[in-house]
Amino acid sequence: MLCGDKVKKLGFYEPCVFDKSYRAKFNKGKQRTKGSLDYVYDDLWRTSRIPSHSGARYFMYVVDEYSGKLWIYIHRTKYEAFDNFKSWKTLVKNKSSMKVKRFRTDNCLEFF
């Protein structure tokens, strides 16, 4: 197939590799909130089909957009999420004497 030619070891051809790759640029993020609890979001996740040692299968996290503070709650059932959210809201209000202005969960935006 090679008509008598020998196969040589090829060197690394750098321009070919760099021509095919490119670096994507990302815009710098802008902080849209002006203070803590201006914008808070949460999500409820199912961890796995196998429960933890305590019997928990779900966890809910709540994130403050401004400070990046994260609260995590572990649940045995997803129906415990609303009660834990109410207790979180009361906890934050008592500790910081501030109210949540906007809350987002699963693409649903609510105002308080």
Q: Residue 84: which domain range?
A: 39-107
Tell me, yes or no, whether 11 lies in a domain.
Answer: no
Q: For residue 70, name the pLDDT band (cuts at 50, 70, 90).
A: very high
Q: What share of the chain is helix, strand, coil (3-state, %, to 5)?
A: 25, 25, 50
Q: Structural domain tally of the chain?
A: 1
> What would the pLDDT profile of 28-65 be if each residue is shown by its tens digit?
777 678 888 888 989 888 877 788 888 888 889 999 98
CATH number, domain at 94?
3.30.420.10
Tell me, yes or no, whether 9 lies in a domain.
Answer: no
Tell me, yes or no, whether 31 lies in a domain.
Answer: no
Task: Tell how strand 102-105 and strand 70-75 pair up.
Answer: unpaired
Using CA atoms, how far residue 65 sits from 1, 48, 69, 76, in Å, is 64, 27, 8, 27
